[in-house]
Amino acid sequence: MILQTEYWDLIKNFFDWVGQSAGVMVLLAGLLAITWLGYERKRRKSFTKKDVDEYEFDITKFLRVLSYLGLILGIFCLWSGISGLILDIPPSFKYAEVTANSNDTFTSILLIILGIVMFLKPINDLPWAGIIGLLVGTVTAFIIAMIVPDTAVQWVAGFINPKWVLVIIFIIVTTLVAISVKFYIDILMTISKILSWPPIALVIVIFCVVQGVALWGFGVSIVPDLF
């Protein structure tokens, strides 16, 4: 029990630090975006080409590993950005001393967007709409099967096999959720592809590194907080 408590405290302290270190997360996001330049340049066989011949794509293991590390950093960026917005946390300890002991809204929004891009980029080929639809449909059918009283099941059995009712509910829920999610997922995927296009990725690298150093090292933001 003591060991479990110590582990829990370590995890809690780490995520508390992540929430208070948006400046560091922006800097790390900028450094990771450098891999987008190599990844996408090799993938597109050009720095500016927009169309991709997927069947010709053979990325190096090094860039692939770095890209998948973005999954983890993406989660941290999302945590830092959302924590900053909700809890009004300054993006760095230096920022709290020099500028204001409050959140920098622009930095939080930037981290949320970058976090989503980093999370989706390595796995953007997965059929997310179908996966989420199946999960929601399965959970819905399971909950209904658990909470519906036996008397109601017996009454329904007089008209149709209750199992078929669950199947119908599963199909309807899965389809509706998948259609709804696909719309939003397609928007996020489009944003991810735009931001990882090498010319834009280069701008992101420069901006994030400068912004991260400014927040972390000097306690200021290069973008005025107008929110």
The 3 state secondary structure assigned to 132-192 is HHHHHHHHHHHHHHHHCCHHHHHHHHCCCCHHHHHHHHHHHHHHHHHHHHHHHHHHHHHHH
| pLDDT at site 3 | 41
What's the DSSP call for residue 127? -
Q: Tell me what the mean pLDDT of segment 195-206 comes to.
A: 84
Tell me which of 175 and 160 has the higher pLDDT.
175
| pLDDT at site 55 | 42
| pLDDT at site 12 | 78
Q: Tell me what the mean pLDDT of segment 181-195 comes to.
A: 73
Radius of gyration of the chain (CA): 23
Tell me which of 166 and 107 has the higher pLDDT.
107
- Which pLDDT band, with edges at 50, 70 and 90, does 6 fall under? low
Contact 201, 171 (CB under 8 A): no
**For residue 226, is pLDDT > 50?**
yes
Q: Tell me what the mean pLDDT of segment 145-149 comes to.
A: 73
Name the least confident of 71-85, 108-122, 142-156. 142-156
pLDDT digits (tens, 9 = 90+) for 27-86: 999 988 887 776 666 666 655 666 555 544 455 566 566 667 777 888 899 899 999 988
pTM over 0.85: no
Structure-token pair, residue 88: 């009004």
Structure-token pair, residue 119: 């999370």
Main-chain dihedrals φ then ψ at residue 62, nearest 5 degrees: -60, -50
Structure-token pair, residue 185: 């997922």
Contact 128, 116 (CB under 8 A): no
Report CA 222 to chain centroid distance, whole Å. 25
Q: Tell me what the mean pLDDT of segment 152-177 comes to.
A: 76
Q: Distance (Å, rounded) from C-alpha 19 to C-alpha 111? A: 11
| pLDDT at site 10 | 78
Main-chain dihedrals φ then ψ at residue 90, nearest 5 degrees: -60, 150
**For residue 94, is pLDDT > 50?**
yes
Main-chain dihedrals φ then ψ at residue 220, nearest 5 degrees: -135, 160
Name the least confident of 73-87, 157-171, 195-209. 157-171
- Which pLDDT band, with edges at 50, 70 and 90, does 220 fall under? very high
